[in-house]
């Protein structure tokens, strides 16, 4: 696969780097709308995952054809990456499975907080699996982001866990672990093959993995509005957002992307407040500020 040449001047390099961070942030903001969409659909999570991924395939194929068909890698380069792409799809499915299981067992607050322990797993595993140097300087913004998320999701810091909360927390931790593996695997693949190959292949494998379960229990009766929303979610959240995310990820350290990922729950909370028209509490304002500051620190530290 032909590699792109980098920017020629420091100023151009700075703009180029900021664009990559902006691409990741744009994808995270899109994905933060999942919660509202799922509540509006009132459909089982399995069908949402299956149909949104299925509907994303034509859009991904179209973007891939327009964007990279003339320079697409030959089959001889793609074939060796198929096992890793299948593994990526498996990690993504496991992430979603445990995330939804956490929601079914405990509160949204505990589910989301335990899921976003992913940066801790990334910080530990990325140096071993990606060869990235562990950066001591990212620990302060990482802790700041964790404190901010804790302030948003646990007002009053009430941490008394019941048995079902404990099992839900374990599921959340498992989803965070698999999210970290998804991020690391995607980062590894971006240096080996094209974005179109990764996204299209990943989505194909997800559909194939879920197809037997769909064929076993395929009784569906959705209203037209639900089909339209599923198609829209597939195109944007499963098709366009991954292009934006992986395009930025290929030139940003996985440890940095993991911390910036805290913008997603912040955005989700903000959207929830907007829809419910509830006034944000002091705890939410503090947590949001802490997460934004941590993301800014990561962006500043990357220069050094």
pLDDT at 17 over 80: no
CA dist list (Å): 13 to 3, 9, 190, 246, 251: 16, 6, 20, 19, 12
| Residue 39 domain flag | no
Q: Give the percent of the chain with pLDDT over 70.
A: 76
Q: What is the pLDDT of residues 81-128, one digit of tens each?
A: 889 999 999 999 888 888 878 877 777 667 777 787 777 777 777 777
pLDDT at 3 over 60: no
DSSP symbols for 29-97? HHHTTHHHHHHHHT--HHHHHHHHHHHHHHHHHHHHHHHHSTTPPPHHHHGGGHHHHHHHHHHHHHHHH
| Residue 286 domain flag | yes
Lowest-confidence region among 20-34, 120-134, 183-197, 213-227: 120-134
CA dist., res. 175 & res. 42, Å (int):
22
Q: What is the pLDDT of residues 145-184, one digit of tens each?
A: 788 777 766 766 666 656 777 788 888 889 889 988 998 8
Lowest-confidence region among 19-33, 119-133, 273-287: 273-287
Secondary element (H or E) of residue 26: helix 10-31
| Residue 273 domain flag | yes
DSSP symbols for 174-242? HHHHHHHHHHHHHHHHHTTS-HHHHHHHHHHHHHHHHHHHHHHS------HHHHHHHHHHHHIIIIIHH
Which pLDDT belongs to residue 161?
54
pLDDT tier for residue 1 given thresholds of 50, 70 and 90: very low
pLDDT tier for residue 281 given thresholds of 50, 70 and 90: low
Which pLDDT belongs to residue 205?
94
Question: What are all long-range contacts of 130-133, with beta carbons under 8 Å and residues at least 24 apart?
Answer: 130/184, 130/187, 130/188, 130/254, 132/253, 132/254, 132/255
Q: Which residue has the higher pLDDT, 218 or 143?
A: 143
Tell me what the mean pLDDT of segment 240-263 comes to.
78
pLDDT tier for residue 129 given thresholds of 50, 70 and 90: confident
Q: What is the pLDDT of residues 36-91, one digit of tens each?
A: 787 788 887 788 889 999 999 988 888 777 665 555 565 566 778 889 999 999 99
CA dist., res. 67 & res. 1, Å (int):
14
| Residue 24 domain flag | no
Domain that holds residue 73: 45-301
Highest mean pLDDT range out of 107-111, 131-135, 170-174, 285-289? Answer: 170-174
Which pLDDT belongs to residue 248?
83
Which pLDDT belongs to residue 28?
87
| Residue 243 domain flag | yes
pLDDT at 2 over 50: no
CA dist., res. 171 & res. 105, Å (int):
9
Overall number of domains in the chain = 1
Secondary element (H or E) of residue 294: helix 282-301
Q: Give the percent of the chain with pLDDT over 90.
A: 13
| Residue 242 domain flag | yes
CA dist., res. 256 & res. 299, Å (int):
8
| Residue 142 domain flag | yes
CA dist., res. 56 & res. 237, Å (int):
8
pLDDT at 207 over 90: yes
| Residue 8 domain flag | no
């Amino acid at each position: 696969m032909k590699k792109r040449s980098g920017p020629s001047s420091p100023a151009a390099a700075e703009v180029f780097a900021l664009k990559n961070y902006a691409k990741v942030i744009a994808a995270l903001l899109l994905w933060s709308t999942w919660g509202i969409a799922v509540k509006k659909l009132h459909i089982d999570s399995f069908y949402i995952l299956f149909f949104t991924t299925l509907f994303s395939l034509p859009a991904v194929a179209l973007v891939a054809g327009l964007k990279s068909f003339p320079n697409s890698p030959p089959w001889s380069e793609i074939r060796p990456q198929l096992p890793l792409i299948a593994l990526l799809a498996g990690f993504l499915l496991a992430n979603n499975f445990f995330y939804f299981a956490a929601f079914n067992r405990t509160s949204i607050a505990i589910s989301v907080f335990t899921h976003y322990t992913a940066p801790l797993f990334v910080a530990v595993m990325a140096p071993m699996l990606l060869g990235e140097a562990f950066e001591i300087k990212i620990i302060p913004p990482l802790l700041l982001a964790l404190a901010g998320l804790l302030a948003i999701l646990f007002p009053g810091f009430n941490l008394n866990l019941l048995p079902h909360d404990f099992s839900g927390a374990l599921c959340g931790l498992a989803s965070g672990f698999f999210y970290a593996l998804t991020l690391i695997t995607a980062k590894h693949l971006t240096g080996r093959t094209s974005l179109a190959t990764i996204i299209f292949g990943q989505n194909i494998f997800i559909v194939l993995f879920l197809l037997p379960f769909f064929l076993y229990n395929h009784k569906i009766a959705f209203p037209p509005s639900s089909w339209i929303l599923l198609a829209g979610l597939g195109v944007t959240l499963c098709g366009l957002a991954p292009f934006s995310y992986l395009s930025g990820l290929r030139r940003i350290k996985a440890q940095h992307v993991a911390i910036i990922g805290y913008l997603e729950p912040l955005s989700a909370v903000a959207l929830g407040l907007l829809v419910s028209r509830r006034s944000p509490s002091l705890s939410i304002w503090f947590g949001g500020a802490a997460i934004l500051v941590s993301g800014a620190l990561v962006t500043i530290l990357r220069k050094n």
